[in-house]
Amino acid sequence: MQDPQAAPDWLDRFGATMNPGLARVLRFMGLDEVEVTGSGAELIDHAGRRFLDCSGGYGVFLHGYRHPRLVEAARRQLDQLAMSSRVLLNPRTIELAELLAEVAPGDLQYSFFTNSGTESVEAALKFARAATGRSRFISTWGAFHGKSMGALAVSGRALYQDPFRPLIGDVTHVAYGSLEELASTLADDVAAVILEPIQGEGGVIVPPPGYLAGARRLTEQHGALLIADEVQTGLGRTGDLFAVNHEHVVPDLLCLSKALSGGIVPVGAVIGRPGVWEFFSEAPLIHTSTFGGNPLATAVAAEAIRVVREEDLVGQARAKGAWLLPALQEVARRYPTVLREVRGRGLMIGMETATAGVGGALMSELFHRGVVAVYTYNNERVLRLLPPLVIRPDQLEQVVERLDQAARAVAAMHLEEVGHAAR
């Protein structure tokens, strides 16, 4: 019998039953590989080819693929109770909430559990409205907070928003990184300012020092809340457990998802300060989710936090990022027609290409050399590198070496094009 995973027509079947447009794009890019398994920083396809996964499932695989402790935590919980009755309390859910209260910045204490990043943002927006009695939000251009209607409204890219106008709510966008714009836009009718501590999908934009602390001060002056969307940055990726910690900022609400799953079971969370949570006392069921906080997901998520601590993944992100960033910047200096800038913090790195057209070619050259790196959603000129924090030093060296080869190949194509144009 034919091995179903090796069937040659997965892309056709994907196009026929899921997304014909995306199938066309993938075919054009020559991306018809099928994933089968993974281990550590490696993703393995149907033909047994190994890829160094530098997009890390867009930030999900902080712990690497199939971390043994997380697989075991899932197995244990599956044998006991995967989903909750939602009538009786579940200890796994409470344990995760306790752990989050312990590790979260400042007095962030209460958790509401969701199943994805966009749901965490949705919940945070509702909680901010309930807590303040106000309805206006301030967000930033280039922000990415998810694609459900509320999260989409506070995201900052017309491409994803325009087909759905009018969007929900009263949202004002300001330039990311500018405290002046924030100060001149904030007023006493604003429920919350929502920010990513580092914009991920906007192209890995690290704000100027003092930005988050300044935003915190300004929101306090106006009685507005600060929502930190740490869906991509949370749990150690940037070299601190939370990226707001770099500026010792305690937001009123903090959104998590992606890495909290341990790469095993989807989960998300919003953590809030006691004052924000008061509305739950009057209406305990005002916001609910059937699957949110299910014991399977929360058992794995709690173990995922313990692994981050016990394996010092935060320290690993810091040390590996400190080696990788300058090494990539050195490659960029050698190929200025391909790479304009490499920036980031910890193991959250963006490589901005010299021209819009070059990104696809670089991505494809990297892929054919066994390195997975993909665009950021809101900035096609930036390839993101979000490798698992457990990536080994020798694997990081391979990433740099293959990037050098890929950039050289793309630079040669570029020279050829310039030559053709001149003839």
Q: Which of 113, 137, 229, 252 is catalytic?
A: 229
CB of 117 or CB of 388, closer to ligand PLP: 117
| Chain center to CA of 257 | 8
Residue 257 found at the interface with ligand PLP (CB under 6 A): yes
Which residue from 42, 122, 196, 303 is in contact with ligand PLP, where contact means CB under 6 A? Answer: 196
CB of 110 or CB of 144, closer to ligand PLP: 144
Quick note: the x/- pattern for ligand PLP over 313-352, rule CB under 6 A, is ----------------------------------------
Quick note: the x/- pattern for ligand PLP over 101-120, rule CB under 6 A, is ---------------xxx--
Q: Which of 51, 112, 144, 367 is catalytic?
A: 144
Nearest residue relative to ligand PLP (C-beta): 117
CB of 139 or CB of 395, closer to ligand PLP: 139
CB of 111 or CB of 118, closer to ligand PLP: 118
Q: What are the beta bridge partners of residue 269?
A: 113, 256
Instruction: Tell me the closest approach of the beta carbon of residue 128 to ligand PLP, in angstroms.
Output: 15
Distance of alpha carbon 48 from alpha carbon 325, whole angstroms: 30
Instruction: Tell me the closest approach of the beta carbon of residue 121 to ligand PLP, in angstroms.
Output: 6
The first and second tokens of residue 36, run together, are 């089968």
Residue 232 found at the interface with ligand PLP (CB under 6 A): yes
Residues in 121-180 that interact with ligand PLP by CB under 6 A: 121, 144-146
Instruction: Tell me the closest approach of the beta carbon of residue 147 to ligand PLP, in angstroms.
Output: 7
CB of 156 or CB of 239, closer to ligand PLP: 156
Instruction: Tell me the closest approach of the beta carbon of residue 196 to ligand PLP, in angstroms.
Output: 5
Q: Which of 61, 137, 258, 320 is catalytic?
A: 258
CB of 14 or CB of 58, closer to ligand PLP: 58
CB of 173 or CB of 222, closer to ligand PLP: 173
> What is the number of other CB atoms lying within 10 angstroms of the CB of residue 333?
10
Number of residues this chain uses to bind ligand PLP (CB under 6 A):
15
Active site residue 144: yes
H, E, C per residue of the chain? CCCHHHCCCHHHHHHHHCCHHHHHHHHHCCCCCCEEEEEECEEEECCCCEEEECCHHHHCCCCCECCHHHHHHHHHHHHHCCCCCCCCCCHHHHHHHHHHHHHCCCCCCEEEEECCHHHHHHHHHHHHHHHHCCCEEEEECCCCCCCCHHHHHHCCCHHHHHHHCCCCCEEEEECCCCHHHHHHHCCCCEEEEEECCCECCCCCECCCCCHHHHHHHHHHHCCCEEEEECCCCCCCCCCCCCHHHHHCCCCCEEEECHHHHCCCCCCEEEEECHHHHHHHHHCCCCCCCCCCCCHHHHHHHHHHHHHHHHCCHHHHHHHHHHHHHHHHHHHHHHCCCCEEEEEEECCEEEEEECCCCHHHHHHHHHHHCCEECEEECCEEEEEEECCCCCCCHHHHHHHHHHHHHHHHHHHHHHHHHHHHHHC
Quick note: the x/- pattern for ligand PLP over 49-88, rule CB under 6 A, is ---------x------------------------------
Among 332, 342, 350, 324, which Cα is nearest to 411's? 332
CB of 123 or CB of 358, closer to ligand PLP: 123
Residue 240 found at the interface with ligand PLP (CB under 6 A): no
Which residue from 56, 200, 321, 387 is in contact with ligand PLP, where contact means CB under 6 A? Answer: 200
Instruction: Tell me the closest approach of the beta carbon of residue 59 to ligand PLP, in angstroms.
Output: 7
Q: Which stretch binds ligand PLP (CB under 6 A): 196-204, 207-215, 244-252, 361-369?
A: 196-204
Which residue from 42, 53, 122, 229 is in contact with ligand PLP, where contact means CB under 6 A? Answer: 229
Instruction: Tell me the closest approach of the beta carbon of residue 350 to ligand PLP, in angstroms.
Output: 13
Q: Which stretch binds ligand PLP (CB under 6 A): 46-54, 67-75, 227-235, 366-374?
A: 227-235
Q: Which positions ≥6 away from 119 have C-beta within 8 Å?
A: 146, 148, 257, 268, 289, 292
Q: What are the beta bridge partners of residue 350?
A: 343, 384
> What is the number of other CB atoms lying within 10 angstroms of the CB of residue 404?
16
**Active centre residues (catalytic):** 144, 229, 258
Residues that bind ligand PLP (CB under 6 A): 58, 116-118, 121, 144-146, 196, 200-201, 229, 231-232, 257
